[in-house]
């Protein structure tokens, strides 16, 4: 959240910002912000504010964005395509190096500079090319077995778009799930609440 906000401030040419103003823009109290940033060392100065660019660098460093973690995507359907072409892994500090799919029509092609290999070659490839993170955009029915497979090959992070809850029972592998429906249902809930407030109000 801080990273997004700081990027936004940089984009708008803001050099310095006080904890009060940052708090106002983010819906946080100034003391919460000072506390969050206190562990980063001295980026703020009383009555002077934070230096936005330095704070942004520090947040990015804490998030490990300077490490160039290597990623590969498995499943190049519509969603996989969208991620390869539009997500901007590099901006986030990740190095997307390969894509895998089982469809003959796409294997052997190159999408936005990323080669698409045959999924059948995935395990061999992973043993020769260590990867930190797999972006999982395969169909539901093969999601779990694919996750197990890549974990067996030493992958430590899975970014899961398959709409199933992956609980791998491996403390060394972290899974982050993207649940599209959660936020859509939140929207629906808000509209339902609004309607019943109008009805009763």
Residues in contact with a second copy by the rule CB under 8 A: 1, 3-4, 8, 62-65, 67, 69, 77-79, 81-83, 85-87, 92-94, 132-133, 156-159, 165, 172, 174, 176-194
**Cα–Cα distance measured from residue 6 to residue 17, given in angstroms and rounded to the nearest whole number:** 10
Q: Minimum distance from CB of 190 to a second copy (Å)?
A: 4
Quick check: 59 and 52 in contact, CB under 8 A? Answer: no
Residue with smaller CB distance to a second copy, 127 or 179: 179
Residue with smaller CB distance to a second copy, 102 or 177: 177
Residue with smaller CB distance to a second copy, 10 or 120: 10
β-strand pairing of 133-136 with 174-177 = unpaired
Tokens of 49: 């504010």
Residue with smaller CB distance to a second copy, 107 or 138: 138
Q: Minimum distance from CB of 84 to a second copy (Å)?
A: 9
Please give the C-alpha separations between residue 164 and each of 71, 132, 159, 169, 184, in angstroms, as whole numbers.
21, 21, 12, 15, 16
Q: Minimum distance from CB of 183 to a second copy (Å)?
A: 4
Hey, how many other C-beta atoms are within 10 angstroms of the C-beta on 3? 15
Q: Minimum distance from CB of 85 to a second copy (Å)?
A: 6
Residue with smaller CB distance to a second copy, 46 or 200: 200
Q: CA nearest 1: which of 30, 26, 19?
A: 26
Quick check: 158 and 150 in contact, CB under 8 A? Answer: yes
CA dihedral 171, 176, 179, 182 (to 10 degrees): 80
Q: Minimum distance from CB of 106 to a second copy (Å)?
A: 13
């Amino acid at each position: 959240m801080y990273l997004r906000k700081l990027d936004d401030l940089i984009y708008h040419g803001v050099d310095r910002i006080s904890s009060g103003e940052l708090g106002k823009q983010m819906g946080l109290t100034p003391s919460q912000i000072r506390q969050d940033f206190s562990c980063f060392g001295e980026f703020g100065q009383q009555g002077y504010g934070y230096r936005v660019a330095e704070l942004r660098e520090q947040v990015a460093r804490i998030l490990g964005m300077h490490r160039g973690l290597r990623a590969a995507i498995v499943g190049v359907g519509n969603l996989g395509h969208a991620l390869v072409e539009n997500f901007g892994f590099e901006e986030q500090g990740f190095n997307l190096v390969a894509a895998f799919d089982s469809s003959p029509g796409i294997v052997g092609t190159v999408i936005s500079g990323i080669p698409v290999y045959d999924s059948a070659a995935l395990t061999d490839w992973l043993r020769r090319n260590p990867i930190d993170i797999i972006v999982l955009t395969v169909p539901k029915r093969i999601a779990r077995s694919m996750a197990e497979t890549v974990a067996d090959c030493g992958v430590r992070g899975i970014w899961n778009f398959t709409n199933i809850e992956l609980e791998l029972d491996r403390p060394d592998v972290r899974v982050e799930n993207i649940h599209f429906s959660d936020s859509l249902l939140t929207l629906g809930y808000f509209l339902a609440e609004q309607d019943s407030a109008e009805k009763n109000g």
